[in-house]
A = this chain, B = another copy of it.
Amino acid sequence: MHPGLTIGEFAQVTHLSVRTLRRYHESGLLEPASIDASSGYRYYTTEQIPSAQVIHRLRELDVPLAEVGKILATDDPHARAELIAAHLDRLRTSLDRTRAAVTSLQRLLRPESGDLEVELRTQPARMVAAITDVVDLDDVLPWYDGAMAELTAAVRGQLGPPGGHYANELFSAGRGAVLVYVPVADPPSYGRVRSVELPAVELAATVHHGPHDDIDVTYGRLGAWVVDHTLAVDGPVQETYVVGPRDDPDPASWRTEIAWPVFRLTG
Contacts and interface: CB of A to CB of B under 8 A. Distances in A.
Given A172-B17, A216-B14, A223 B49 contact: yes
Interface in A45-70: 46-47, 49-50, 52-54, 56-58, 60-61
B233 A12 contact: yes
Interface string A216-240: 1101111110111000110000000
A86 interface: no
Contact of A13 (B15, B54, B224): B224
Given A53-B216, A53-B220, A57-B108, A95 B95 contact: yes
A105 B58 contact: yes
A46 B171 contact: no
Contacts of A142: none
B105 A172 contact: no
A112 interface: yes
Given A14-B216, A172-B11, A219-B13, A102 B61 contact: yes
Given A50-B112, A53-B220, A17 B173 contact: yes
Given A13-B224, A46-B224, A220-B14, A60 B233 contact: no
Interface in A72-118: 77, 80-81, 84, 88, 91, 95, 97-98, 101-102, 104-105, 108-109, 112
Given A13-B233, A98-B61, A54 B220 contact: no
A98 B105 contact: no
A101 B221 CA distance: 41
Contact of A12 (B46, B217, B223): B223
A168 interface: yes
A186 interface: no
Contacts of A14: 216, 219-220, 223
Contacts of A5: 227
Given A2-B267, A172-B18, A56 B227 contact: no
A9 interface: yes
22 contacts: A8-B172, A9-B232, A11-B172, A13-B222, A14-B219, A17-B171, A17-B174, A46-B223, A46-B227, A46-B228, A47-B224, A49-B224, A50-B220, A52-B220, A53-B217, A54-B108, A54-B109, A56-B216, A57-B104, A57-B105, A60-B98, A61-B101
Closest 7 CB pairs of A and B: A13-B223, A46-B224, A60-B101, A57-B105, A49-B220, A15-B171, A15-B216
